[in-house]
């Protein structure tokens, strides 16, 4: 999941009910009356349904919206840049130069791009809880897996329909979400990276900001632009300071309902390791990028995501390291437990759950390293290894009933598998070798040279040698080879001499075993205890609050508003196009593309460029539309300020800000810089 939006707070509040502007609300429990009381505008059901139907999720980890009746989708540049990179090669680098399909026939298919538009939500809580009641450990996990597969199977195996069992309130509610799934998605427009990510890593998560972080793609069905009658119209006048605004998107995940023990685990064990791993990988990529134009191009997007995650997680860790912030998390938990203690029946039923979770965190500390290295989904950071692992597992899993399989091989999941497994995305052997070498080296470092898993994986070889032999030797970069192995099933896998297939097969038993132990002994008891805490919270607080984010459609509300930062500086809510030109230094990452320099005289320097608003968002919200009370687009969300990064754990209404590209700058540049007349008339038809 791309997490480009996500928190250093001093003045946050963590108590229920939610603060002004707090919350990533589900569409079916949106606090419309509260918004009305605060802002004089009460969203009605039609307003909410329209926004929901016009919103779309990018399965890779972003949000988006339909902005025309013929499938045109607006999202961030950084949400489509992977596709832009995959469509590039050493002779044409669309990431650097941008891309614009002058005619519809120029719209070009992204190798692996899935859009999901929510069509229905069914509450299946009772069925799920009945299936797992009284079970624990392996039995609990097996029952939950089987029930999940059963629920998903009710949607059939049409790849145009996707059903996900969604756990809200950490198991307090189970909903079956059905989506219309689009897997033929084509690139329409992407600006140059230099202006989309103007300011690069130094400006990331900062405000004031000056980015043109937009990309347009189109959903196709049956080879034609999809009909999307529900879509968002463009605002004629944009927003003003103080306007109420909504963000419709898919926040990827928050940790606001976790226990203090889980927070402490993150602070003391999880974040430090992940962050230093990201830092080292970042260094590797940076240096690799200095060896030539093509190495830099091949790792450009990966470096962006790595730097972005590094900055985001560092901000989240920092929030937990703030003793005032952490004390509030403790106080909030204590308040809930104190309320519980006053109700003996609830106390008997649920109070033990906190201790269970604390105990599980200690086990997690011991087990997480091996799990993360080899057990968690795909073991190593290599596409080719990933293909091999999938190919090895498919025939083994297919032989089982759907509900007994690893979840990613259920019938519902297998229906989507070909899109990934047979993707035409290019594979770069040098990058693959770098990634696999890095993964193997870290595995040895974290587990130690004498660990049985490390010995099984490396044998007598060094990470460098093993990575080199596997990447040079494998033929899995070739789609036809992958297809043949897939179609040949168990016999083809058994007969294959491909070194990557043999390698994946040789470590499969160990990988599964590590995963199973972790799921049964750590994840299952934690989930069960979280369900108990959710029930306790419902009993005390009712449903006045919103569930932690789960990368499913949510709506947040707020207003366009500046702030006074921690150094006492007053930050205005809008930046301008003139400010962008003033900030351009000519040195990376502050270099404007020639197209913008050429068009400067056609652009009004007073046009609002980016804007800040108080909406509560987090990573996964990238690409969300910013919508006014007419239901029209006034901006495109692409980031949060640095003060928003503690938002994973708690919302800070004073300092946390959502950062969007202003709709007026979006349109002005489409016209004056890109002369994208076809698209301008599609999104902004003459009246």
> Residue 201 or residue 376: which is nearer to a second copy going by CB?
201
Strand-pairing partners, residue 662, are: 635
Please report how close the Cβ of residue 409 comes to a second copy at its closest, in angstroms.
34
Please report how close the Cβ of residue 565 comes to a second copy at its closest, in angstroms.
12
Residues 452-471 that bind a second copy (CB under 8 A): 458, 460-462, 464-465
By the rule CB under 8 A, 305 interacts with a second copy: no
CB atoms near residue 286 (< 10 Å): 14
By the rule CB under 8 A, 448 interacts with a second copy: yes
> Residue 280 or residue 376: which is nearer to a second copy going by CB?
280
Q: With CB under 8 A, what is the number of residues at the site for a second copy? A: 48
By the rule CB under 8 A, 280 interacts with a second copy: yes
In whole angstroms, give the CA distance from residue 309 to residue 286.
15
Contact segment (CB under 8 A) with a second copy among 148-156, 286-294, 392-400, 510-518 equals: 286-294
> Residue 280 or residue 411: which is nearer to a second copy going by CB?
280
Contact segment (CB under 8 A) with a second copy among 470-478, 541-549, 587-595, 665-673 equals: 587-595
Please report how close the Cβ of residue 279 comes to a second copy at its closest, in angstroms.
4
> Residue 311 or residue 515: which is nearer to a second copy going by CB?
311
Please report how close the Cβ of residue 284 comes to a second copy at its closest, in angstroms.
4
Q: Which candidate, 224, 188, 238, 69, places its Cα nearest to that of 678?
A: 188
Q: Which candidate, 403, 374, 381, 398, places its Cα nearest to that of 486?
A: 398
Please report how close the Cβ of residue 305 comes to a second copy at its closest, in angstroms.
15
Please report how close the Cβ of residue 315 comes to a second copy at its closest, in angstroms.
12
By the rule CB under 8 A, 229 interacts with a second copy: no
Q: Summarize the chain as % helix, strand, coil (round to 5).
A: 50, 15, 35
> Residue 377 or residue 448: which is nearer to a second copy going by CB?
448
User: CA separation (Å) from 389 to 485, 493, 639?
Assistant: 12, 11, 35
> Residue 119 or residue 441: which is nearer to a second copy going by CB?
441
Please report how close the Cβ of residue 517 comes to a second copy at its closest, in angstroms.
16
3-state secondary structure 516-567: HHHHHHHHHHHHHHHHHHHHHHHHHHCCCCCCCCCCCCEEEEEEECCEECCC
Angle between helices 463-473 and 383-398 (to 10 degrees): 70
> Residue 192 or residue 203: which is nearer to a second copy going by CB?
203
Contacts of 534 (CB under 8 A, 6+ apart): 169, 170, 171, 172, 173, 257
Q: Single out the residue of 46, 338, 480, 587 in contact with a second copy (rule: CB under 8 A).
A: 587
Q: Which candidate, 266, 314, 305, 209, places its Cα nearest to that of 3?
A: 305
In whole angstroms, give the CA distance from residue 193 to residue 199.
11
CB atoms near residue 428 (< 10 Å): 16
Residues 488-547 that bind a second copy (CB under 8 A): none
Q: Which candidate, 531, 22, 12, places its Cα nearest to that of 259?
A: 531
Contacts of 594 (CB under 8 A, 6+ apart): none
Strand-pairing partners, residue 249, are: 554
Q: Single out the residue of 142, 221, 230, 268 in contact with a second copy (rule: CB under 8 A).
A: 268
By the rule CB under 8 A, 590 interacts with a second copy: yes
CB atoms near residue 296 (< 10 Å): 17
Q: For the sheet containing 554-559, what is the strand order?
A: 554-559, 244-249, 625-627, 633-640, 658-662, 608-613, 574-576
Please report how close the Cβ of residue 311 comes to a second copy at its closest, in angstroms.
9
By the rule CB under 8 A, 630 interacts with a second copy: no
The pattern of x and - marking residues 398 through 437 that bind a second copy according to CB under 8 A reads: ------------------------------------x---
Q: Single out the residue of 126, 223, 497, 588 in contact with a second copy (rule: CB under 8 A).
A: 588
In whole angstroms, give the CA distance from residue 593 to residue 194.
6
> Residue 41 or residue 590: which is nearer to a second copy going by CB?
590
Residues 116-175 that bind a second copy (CB under 8 A): none
Q: Which candidate, 272, 278, 270, 265, places its Cα nearest to that of 442?
A: 278
By the rule CB under 8 A, 585 interacts with a second copy: yes
Contact segment (CB under 8 A) with a second copy among 123-131, 163-171, 228-236, 585-593 equals: 585-593
In whole angstroms, give the CA distance from residue 231 to residue 390.
37
Contacts of 87 (CB under 8 A, 6+ apart): 94, 99, 108, 110, 111, 187
> Residue 111 or residue 200: which is nearer to a second copy going by CB?
200
Please report how close the Cβ of residue 265 comes to a second copy at its closest, in angstroms.
10
Please report how close the Cβ of residue 118 comes to a second copy at its closest, in angstroms.
38
Residues in the chain: 687
User: Residue 662 in contact with residue 671, Cβ under 8 Å?
Assistant: no
Please report how close the Cβ of residue 89 comes to a second copy at its closest, in angstroms.
23
Q: Single out the residue of 89, 120, 237, 276 in contact with a second copy (rule: CB under 8 A).
A: 276
By the rule CB under 8 A, 260 interacts with a second copy: no
3-state secondary structure 583-600: HCCCCCCCCCCHHHHHHH
The pattern of x and - marking residues 190 through 219 that bind a second copy according to CB under 8 A reads: ---------x-xxx--x-------------
Contacts of 247 (CB under 8 A, 6+ apart): 555, 556, 557, 558, 613, 615, 617, 621, 624, 625, 626, 627, 637, 658
By the rule CB under 8 A, 444 interacts with a second copy: yes
Please report how close the Cβ of residue 463 comes to a second copy at its closest, in angstroms.
9
> Residue 163 or residue 303: which is nearer to a second copy going by CB?
303
Q: Residue numbers of the site for a second copy (CB under 8 A)?
A: 199, 201-203, 206, 264, 267-269, 272, 275-277, 279-288, 291, 310, 314, 317-318, 321-323, 434, 444-445, 448-449, 458, 460-462, 464-465, 585-590
């Amino acid at each position: 999941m791309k997490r480009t939006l996500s928190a250093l707070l001093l003045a946050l509040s963590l108590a229920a009910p939610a603060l002004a502007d707090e919350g990533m609300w589900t569409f079916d429990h949106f606090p419309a009356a509260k918004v009305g009381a605060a802002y004089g505008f009460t969203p009605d059901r039609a307003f909410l349904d329209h926004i929901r139907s016009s919103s779309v999720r990018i399965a890779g980890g972003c949000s988006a919206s339909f902005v025309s009746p013929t499938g045109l989708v607006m999202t961030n540049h950084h949400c489509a840049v992977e596709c832009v990179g995959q469509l590039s090669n050493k002779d044409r680098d669309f990431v650097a130069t941008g891309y614009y399909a002058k005619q519809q026939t120029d719209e070009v298919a992204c190798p692996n791009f899935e859009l999901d538009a929510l069509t229905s939500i069914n509450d299946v809580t009772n069925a799920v809880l009945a299936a797992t009641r009284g079970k624990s450990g392996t039995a609990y996990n097996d029952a939950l897996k089987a029930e999940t597969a059963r629920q998903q199977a009710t949607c059939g195996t049409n790849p145009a329909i996707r059903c996900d069992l969604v756990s809200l309130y950490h198991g307090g509610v189970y909903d079956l979400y059905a989506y219309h799934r689009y897997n033929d998605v084509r690139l329409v427009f992407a600006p140059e990276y230099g202006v989309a990510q103007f300011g690069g890593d130094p400006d990331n998560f900062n405000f004031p900001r000056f980015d043109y972080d937009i990309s347009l793609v189109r959903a196709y069905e049956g080879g034609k632009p999809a009909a999307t009658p529900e879509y968002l119209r463009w605002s004629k006048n944009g927003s003003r300071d103080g306007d109420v605004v909504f963000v419709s998107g898919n926040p990827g995940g928050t940790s606001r309902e976790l226990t203090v023990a889980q927070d402490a685990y993150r602070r003391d064990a999880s974040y430090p390791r992940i962050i230093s791993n990201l830092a080292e990988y970042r260094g590797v990529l940076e240096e690799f990028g200095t060896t030539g134009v093509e190495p830099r191009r091949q790792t450009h997007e990966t470096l962006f995501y790595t730097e972005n995650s590094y900055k985001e997680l560092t901000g989240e860790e920092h929030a937990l390291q703030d003793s005032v912030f952490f004390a509030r998390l403790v106080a909030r938990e204590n308040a809930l437990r104190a309320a519980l203690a006053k109700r003996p029946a609830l106390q008997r039923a649920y109070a033990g759950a906190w201790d269970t979770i604390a105990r599980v965190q200690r086990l997690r500390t011991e087990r997480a390293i091996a799990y993360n290295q080899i057990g968690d989904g795909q073991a190593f950071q290599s596409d080719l290894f990933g293909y091999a692992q999938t190919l090895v597992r498919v025939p083994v899993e297919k032989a089982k009933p759907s509900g007994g399989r690893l979840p990613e091989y259920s019938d519902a999941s297998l229906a989507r598998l070909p899109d990934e497994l047979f993707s035409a995305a290019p594979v770069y052997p040098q990058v693959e070798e770098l990634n696999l070498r890095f993964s193997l080296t870290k595995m040895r470092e974290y587990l130690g040279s004498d660990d049985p898993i490390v010995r099984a994986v490396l044998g007598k070889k060094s990470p460098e040698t093993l990575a080199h032999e596997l990447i040079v030797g494998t033929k899995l970069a070739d789609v036809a080879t992958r297809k043949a192995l897939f179609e040949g099933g168990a016999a083809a896998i058994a007969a294959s001499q491909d070194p990557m297939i043999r390698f994946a097969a040789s470590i499969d038993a160990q990988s599964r075993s590590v995963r199973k132990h972790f799921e049964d002994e750590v994840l299952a008891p934690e989930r069960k205890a979280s369900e108990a805490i959710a029930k306790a919270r419902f009993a005390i607080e009712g449903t006045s609050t919103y569930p932690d984010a789960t990368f499913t459609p949510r709506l947040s509300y707020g207003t366009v508003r500046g702030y006074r930062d921690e150094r006492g500086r007053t930050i205005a809510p809008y930046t301008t196009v003139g400010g962008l030109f003033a900030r351009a230094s000519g040195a990376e990452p502050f270099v404007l593309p020639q197209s913008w320099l050429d068009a400067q005289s056609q652009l009004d320097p007073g046009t609002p460029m980016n804007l800040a608003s108080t909406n509560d968002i987090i990573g996964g919200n990238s690409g969300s539309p910013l919508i006014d009370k007419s239901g029209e687009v006034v901006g495109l969300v692409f980031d949060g300020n640095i003060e928003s990064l503690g938002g994973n754990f708690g919302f800070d209404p004073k300092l946390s800000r959502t950062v969007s590209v202003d709709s007026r700058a979006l349109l002005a540049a489409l016209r004056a810089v890109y002369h994208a007349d076809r698209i301008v008339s599609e999104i902004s038809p003459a009246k």
